[in-house]
Amino acid sequence: AFLRVEHIGIAIKSLEKSNDLFKKLFGKEHYKVEKVEREGVSTSFFQLGETKIELLEATTEESAISKFIDKKGEGVHHIAYEVDDIYAEMKRLENEGFILLSQEPKTGADNKLICFLHPKSTNGVLVELCQERKE
Ligand code: CMX
């Protein structure tokens, strides 16, 4: 099942500048910065109630974030939903005709299990499923 919006990802050009901007907007600091080498991104997170805002800066030219900003400019990049069983949801969504961008969950920020759905199959909004790793 889909449980909640876990975070909203926003593609930005400069983490340093946007950390200042979003600090002014929210009236509080980001609580962490995390590099996700695999995805070619450097991220920062702001906590707002049960939802987070993730700022995403590209660290390589091949990064999904570089391509996104070249094409569309800065802006909302994806919406991440927390699910209770990522394997079951991936199977269900594939059967419903959504395009999964990986056949197995990958490791994302916070060491979570994640899977993206192609925006062409979700009305132009990149969807991320995420789930806490159960130790
Ligand atoms: N939201 C909406 N549309 C998007 C998009 C996004 N985030 N990223 C790309 N698109 C659009 C492109 O503009 C393109 O549109 P047109 O065909 O109308 O021009 C279309 O999707 C398909 O693009 P593509 O050339 O097939 O593919 P790209 O090389 O642009 O890759 C995508 C798109 C979604 C497959 C790729 O970005 C991807 O695999 N994303 C998942 C991983 C990711 O985003 N990682 C970064 C975040 C990591 C994190 O949160 O830690």
Angle at CA of residue 52, ends 33 and 107, nearest 5°: 60
Helix (H, G, I), strand (E, B) or coil at 118: coil
d(CA 30, ligand 1 centre) in Å: 25
Question: What ipTM did this prediction achieve?
Answer: 0.96
**How does pLDDT run across 99-122, given as a tens digit for each residue?**
999 999 999 888 899 999 999 999
Q: Residue 44 pairs with which residues in a beta bridge?
A: 33, 55
Q: Is 8 left (phi over 0), alpha (psi -120 to 50) or beta?
A: beta
Q: Residue 54 pairs with which residues in a beta bridge?
A: 9, 45
CA 122, CA 105: separation in Å to the nearest integer?
A: 18
**pTM summary value:** 0.96
Q: Which amino acid residue places its CA nearest to atom 7 of ligand 1?
A: 77
